[in-house]
Amino acid sequence: MVLGTWWRKNWLRVLVHIGAWVPLSWLVIQYLQGSFVVDPVREMTTYTGKTALILLMLSLACTPISTVTGLKQVLRVRRALGVYSLVYVSVHFAIFVGLDYRFDPGLLVEAIFEQRYVIVGFAAGVILLLLGVTSTRGWQRRLRRNWKRLHRLVYVAGILVVAHFLWLSKDPQEPLRYGALLVGLLLLRLPPIRGAISRLRRRLESRLKRNSERGLGVLAPHR
């Protein structure tokens, strides 16, 4: 009984915490099995980068999803998704520095600061690191109102990440799809749009409620 209630309240969190480790486990298994045959560095870099991007998008989708559906549960996984995105960004960066450039400082400085797709990716990583470190309740208390202001930088990170993907790709179609998704998610957050959707939802909800009450009323005489 108790477990059932707990599960109904927390299933999404459990799903996120388990789900977020699946791509990394898969990566490690594939690596150990030697499944990345041709170009392991590129494959692993792309894989971790794309996972980080998807997790960041999911984190950014939490608020809009809650606005549209009214589900409050979704808001409780927003931070975890963001932190997991940072985890994959860190692995992505470690592969870039260690496996791709073999910790060569000269090559790395050139690679990071002379290629615009790397500069924007690097900047996005720095932002996510900052937000990850200050994501705890302690920092939330310490920064007070500034915490929210600081964490709005996640939108900037989202834009930089899409630019990173777009600028490194020879074919722009896939990054542009993520770009469109990001624009959609950001639009849903604009106060006028968000307010309108909330009002529409509440009106629909109350109408549904009235209808079902009327339905019960029809059934009532039979009791």
Partner 1 sequence: MQEWFFIGGNVVKINPSEITPEHVYLSRRRFLKGVGAVAAASLVVGACGPQESSPVAVPTAEPGLAYPPLPTPSAASDELGAALTTYEAITNYNNYYEFTTSKEGVAKLAQGFRTSPWEVEVGGLVDKPQVFGLEDLLKFEQEERIYRLRCVEAWSMVIPWVGFPLRRLLEEVAPQSGAQYVRFETLYDPEQMPGQGRSSYSWPYLEGLRLDEAMHDLTLLATGIYGKPLPPQNGAPVRLVVPWKYGFKSIKSIVKIELVEEMPVSFWMDAVPQEYGFYANVNPEVSHPRWSQATERRIGESGRIETLLFNGYDEEVAHLYEGMDLRRWY
The residues of the shown chain that bind partner 1, judged by CB under 8 A, are: 37-39, 41-43, 99-102, 104, 107, 110-111, 114-118, 167-168, 170-171, 173
152 Cβ contact partners less than 8 Å away, ≥ 6 residues apart = none
CB of 101 to partner 1, least distance (A): 6
For residues 21 and 165, give the distance between their C-alpha atoms in angstroms, rounded to a whole number: 23
Smaller CB distance to partner 1: residue 112 or 186?
A: 112
Smaller CB distance to partner 1: residue 84 or 101?
A: 101
DSSP letters, 115-168, are SHHHHHHHHHHHHHHHHHHTTSHHHHHHHTHHHHHHHTHHHHHHHHHHHHHHHH
Smaller CB distance to partner 1: residue 41 or 83?
A: 41
CB of 38 to partner 1, least distance (A): 4
Smaller CB distance to partner 1: residue 43 or 143?
A: 43
CB of 33 to partner 1, least distance (A): 16
CB of 174 to partner 1, least distance (A): 8
State the first-to-last Cα distance of the chain, in angstroms, to the nearest integer. 29
For residues 174 and 203, give the distance between their C-alpha atoms in angstroms, rounded to a whole number: 37
